[in-house]
Every structure is written in C-alpha cells, then in structure tokens.
Structure 1
C-alpha cells in the first residue's frame, strides 16, 4: 500500500493494488479567478491578464502536496496543505470551489504562481480536460464537469480584461496518458511485464489526431480573441509540453526488485519503461507540440526537463519525514502514485505538486518576459523555483 510503512507482497495485496491502479486517471485542476465579470474592457484597456487553459498539468492538480511522506496521519509531516486539524482534511483550502467538481484549480497553479507579470492571473483549465473541452460550443466544444467549454469562458475573460498571454496545456488526455500510466503501473505490480512496447503503438496510433485537435484548440482561441476585438499582435498564445514525473532508471533511488518502488516510493515502473517514458514518450509529445506551435504561430514552452532531479523516486530528492522537513530544494516536485488513496485522491498522482507548480509558474513568468521565441525551462540543482531558467529551443 503506497504511503504505508508495511510492505505487503502476497497475491491478494497485489490484486488490491492492481484494482486501484486500473482506476488511475490523469486528470488535471486552479481557482477560476476573479476578473471574468464586470464592465466590458477592450484590448489595451482594463486589467492586464494571463489566462491558463487546458488540462490538469496547468489547472493545478496535486497542488495540495509539498513533497511526499509515508506518514498517513495529521499534516503528513507538513506535506498536506489540506490538513485542518487532527484527522480532518479540507481540499478546498487548496482547490477552492473546484475541489467539488474535480477541476482542481489550485492556489499554487502555474498561472497563479506567475507573479510579477499581469494584474489578473486567471485559470480556466480543468483536470481531465481534452481538446474538445477547449473548443467553442458552437464549433464542437463539449462542457466538462459542469462547466462551459473553456473557449466560451475565455470570451467573457477577454471582454473584461486586457489579455496579454494565454498559456495552453492540452493533448495528453487525448493520447490517453492516464491509461498509459495505469497500464505501466499494473504491468509492474501484477503482470511482471513491460508496457513500453505495446503502449508506444497506442501513442503512435493516436498522436496525429491528437495534434490536429491541439491545432484546432489554438484556432478556437484565436477566433474568440478576434471576436473580442483583439488583433493577432495584441496577445500571445504559449503552448507548453509536459514534464516527466518519473526519473530515468539510473536516477531512481530504489531498486527495481522487491516492493520499495510501490510501498515506499510510489513509483511502480520497470527500469525499461521508465527510460521509455522519460527519454522517448515525453520527448515525442514535446516535439510534436513544438511542431503544432510553429504551424499555428504560437510560442512554445518546453517543460520536458522541468522536474529533472525532483521527480518521484529521483535519487537526488528525498521523502519528507519528521527529521526531513518539506523543502523546495530537497523534496520531490511531483505527486507519487497513491493507489490505495490513503492520502488524498488518486487523480493527483503523477502531477507537479506545490513545489513543481511554483516552478512552472516561474517558467511562465520568464516566457512572459520574452515577446518572441521558443524556450525550454529547466531547474538549477539545489535551488527552489527562483533557480528556473530558460534556454532557446532551436
């Protein structure tokens, strides 16, 4: 059971873990910011704004957690920002009203952490969203978790604010990223087989269609902005890629054999699958998204290496404990796989946590200051979010 000190290896325990692993979604959450109502503004007038749109990797999923701890009670060694007192927890302390519908827009989400940029930091993203949830309803958009398509929400935001940048993270759920993680975890826990070989075929069969829809999402955003009176030069769209939540095999602090990766580390993946995810799958998606950005005239922010050294089970990071407090410099920046849900919800698994989101926000702020060009954003070893830096993408 992930998050427990007790190692359970019998077949019955593995079956329970497998059942939980099959439920693992890649869903994604952040507060729907103020500034979406009021007197109409026009481009160049009203409060300046950055708007986040898309899925869980930008909505703020897992922002509840400051590292990972094996302690299941109280504040979980200070990692649980949803802790109230005793055994009482309130996720709305972090996710606000979206704790209820599962969009999980956290107070530390990427856009909320992009401080020092615009007056308004507005989050429309929703954990679990696919590209269809971004399109306008008049052009195939689909409501999600009780909310209107994000492009329709953007229309109100664009009218009430002077939108400068729209950050978009989308496409991972179209590719079935959650199912990939579930399959790989289950193959480790139950079947003792690799997942990379068959899952690569799944990705290859879906990626062209997914990227076409990402391109349409950008077109839909541009249509909304044009209708609101914005010229194409009045704002920017920043399309971003996904960071890897797990390290390469050689950078994992736990042995591949035994159950430490499940019961202690929360990273139930074989070495070969880990290397495939880190050095093949994540780069493949990033490179294709870069191509979409180029074709659609958007800026590209490459986050594939953002969590380097701070991934779940990374050798250069540590679990939080009573003797090892939560730290932006030493703790993991992503949420582990808590398949038994002893701490929070399983949908938070494999997403940048509080520390990771502060870092992503710093990346966005740095790109905001660059009116042109594509960039990759990386961290500086031993530093917190202040050590994030940009390098041009060729």
Structure 2
C-alpha cells in the first residue's frame, strides 16, 4: 500500500510539473494594447475613461484589432512610462491601473509603444521651441560640453524596455508581441518648417536623429525579445507635422484638428493601424 501511495504521489507530482511547464494556450481573439500617448491618441474623438489618460476610441490598436475581428483590452495612457506597466498611473481623473493587469495566459496579441516619456521627448520638444529660427536651444540644453543628453537617456531606457518585454512574456507567454515605433514628427530631410513647427533650423536635424535613435533602440529590444516591429515611422515619412492639414499624420505645435501637439491625429492612427495589423496576423 505504501509503495502504491508513493507511486501515486510521484505520478501526481510529475503531472503537475509537466502541466506547469506547458505554456498557456492563447486565444487569438484576445488583444491587449499597452503604451503611452502616441498609442492612446490624446484629444482624438471619442475619448474614453479613465479620461485622464486622454485615450481615443480610434487609436491604432483599437482600429487594428477591429480590422482583424479581435477583442481588445486597451489600457494605454498618455504620459505612461515603462514604470506604469507595473505601477498605477495617477492621472486626473483616474487613476489608470498598472497596464500589466490586463495581461494573462490567454492573451493572443500584445501591442506596445513605450519609451518616449522615459527619455522626456515631449519635454524636449517644448524646451527646443524657439521664436528665433537661427537660435539653437537644443544644442545648448542637450549637448553641453560635448555630451549628448538625449542619447544618454535613450541608452538608459533600453534596459527598461527590455524589462517590459520580459514582463509581457512572463504574463502572456503565448502572445504575439508587436512593438510599435514612433511616427515621424519632422521631415525626413531638411531643416524643418519654422514657424509651423517652431524649431531652430540647426536643431531639426539633431531632433530627427534622436527620434531615429529612439526607434532604433526599440527595434533592437524587440528583436532581442523575439517580438515583432510595426514600423510606423517608415509608413509616416512624408506625412510629418510640417505637411498640410490634409496630408500630415502628426500635428504641429498648434493642431489643426482634434489631436495633441506633436502627436498623431486620426489620419495618423488610421494609417498606422494596418501596419500594426500586418504584424499581428
């Protein structure tokens, strides 16, 4: 009897261990959208609760999921940093719970756009706005004494993005992860379009290079984590904030439609959605 009991116990332990080792089966219909304001869609109608997140019902993740007939839990929130994947974001009105709360073993697709707020990109653009196109405030503020402060921030953010991707994989082990980079704010070439985008002529190439560096970091981290990259930047070339209101995907400092300054408008969200959907199939 003791032998049989021991064999039964050993068998039960083996079965339990085997079950624990088998990853959860994902439901292809379940989609979770994570991210910051570029993912959320501030001021684009219709805005959804929690209203402090400035989240649109027509952001790219929602449009992409709908195009594939999937159900989305969109927990993106304007102002989110990598820390807000696991910590509550105290927006007003809010709060927004930790975004990772939406993840579970049954999730089939996860979209992620994060990192811009960790490097302070909105603050950088605001600090670099100038009434003198021949000035160089970015050079003075972000490249003092030969340093490149923004590059340092991007380097410091890389391991934080890596941790986020690891956290997604741990919570949704069978999900397809799609990292979305940032749509072009500035023209691909040239010195910008002051005063529509009031940045100094000499600062525009620098800021363009920093956005490309941020996107390159996201691509690297996605690759290392076995995630896919949705290249919103390439899709948006020629549709930057310097273009006319009928062309641009990103609004200038003074928006011409319901969208936040230096953020995607509805046309941009609609243009990015199929890029994301193609990676989520």
Give TM class, smaller chain: 0.7 to 0.9
In the alignment, is the contact (CA less than 8 A) between 2:184 and 2:239 conserved in 1? Answer: no
Determine the structure 1 residue equivalent to 2:60: 110
- The residue number in structure 1 matching 2:166 is 219
Task: Tell me the equivalent position of 1:121.
Answer: 72
Aligned to 1:166: 110
Q: What aligned pairs does 1:41-60 form with structure 2 within 5 A after superposition?
A: 43-44=25-26, 48-60=29-41
User: Is residue 2:238 matched to residue 1:291?
Assistant: no
Please report the TM-score for the alignment, with normalisation by the length of structure 1: 0.58
Aligned partner of residue 122 in structure 2, secondary structure: helix
User: Is residue 2:142 matched to residue 1:199?
Assistant: yes
Equivalent position of 2:17 in the other structure: none
Contact 1:51 1:166 in 2 (8 A): yes
Q: Matched residues in 2 for 1:358 and 1:212: separation?
A: 31
**Structure 1 residues 251 and 122, CA gap change in structure 2 (3 angstroms):** farther
Question: Judging changes above 3 Å, is the alpha-carbon distance between structure 1 residues 219 and 144 closer, same or farther for their aligned structure 2 residues?
Answer: farther
Using the alignment, how far apart are the partners of 1:248 and 1:119 within structure 2?
34
Structure 2 unaligned regions, length at least 5: 1-23
Query: Would you say the 8 A contact 2:60–2:269 is kept in 1?
Result: yes
Structure 1 gaps of 5+ residues are 1-41, 65-93, 136-140, 226-231, 320-329, 370-394
Other structure's SS at 2:151 match: helix
Instruction: Give the corresponding residue for 1:362.
Output: 274
Give the distance between the partners of 1:117 and 1:109, measured in 2 at CA. Answer: 15
- Aligned residue for 2:198? 268
Instruction: Give the structure 2 partner of residue 21 of structure 1.
Output: none
- The alpha carbon displacement at 1:249 in A equals 5.7
Q: Which residue of 2 aligns with 1:36?
A: none
Give the TM-score of the pair, scaled to structure 2: 0.79
Which structure ranks higher in relative contact order (CA pairs < 8 Å, sequence separation ≥ 6)? 1
1:62 deviation in Å? 4.4
Note if 1:307 corresponds to 2:214.
no
The structure in which a higher percent of residues are helix is: 2
The structure-2 alpha-carbon separation of the partners of 1:194 and 1:353, relative to structure 1 and needing over 3 Å to count, comes to same
Shift of 1:351: 0.7
Structure 1 pair 221–335 and aligned structure 2 pair: CA distance change class (3 A): same
Computing the radius of gyration from Cα coordinates, the structure with the larger value is: 2
Instruction: Give me the whole-angstrom Cα distance separating, in 2, the residues matched to 1:342 and 1:196.
Output: 26
Give the number of aligned pairs. 249
1:163 Cα deviation (Å)?
A: 2.1
* Post-superposition CA distance 1:228-280 (Å, at most 9, x none): xxxx3x3111112111222246385x5x5xxxx1xxx3x111222222222x1
Question: In structure 2, what is the equivalent of residue 389 of structure 1?
Answer: none
Q: Distance in 2 between matches of 1:96 and 1:292?
A: 30
The secondary structure found in structure 1 opposite 2:159 is helix
Q: Determine if the alignment matches structure 1 residue 175 to structure 2 residue 125.
A: no
**2:4 — aligned with what?**
none
Secondary structure of 1:250's counterpart equals coil
Deviation of 1:344 (Å): 6.5
- The separation in 2 between residues aligned to 1:224 and 1:166, in whole angstroms, is 11
* CA deviation vs aligned residue, 1:24-72 (integer Å, no higher than 9, x gap): xxxxxxxxxxxxxxxxxx7355x712211011111122424xxxxxxxx
SS at match of 1:274: helix
1:282 and 1:304 in contact (8 A); partners too: no
RMSD: 2.6
CA distance, structure 2, for counterparts of residue 122 and residue 112 of structure 1: 9
**2:186 paired residue number:** 246
Check conservation: 1:50, 1:118, Cα contact below 8 A: no
2:78 alignment partner, SS class: coil
SS at match of 2:162: helix
Shift of 1:355: 0.3
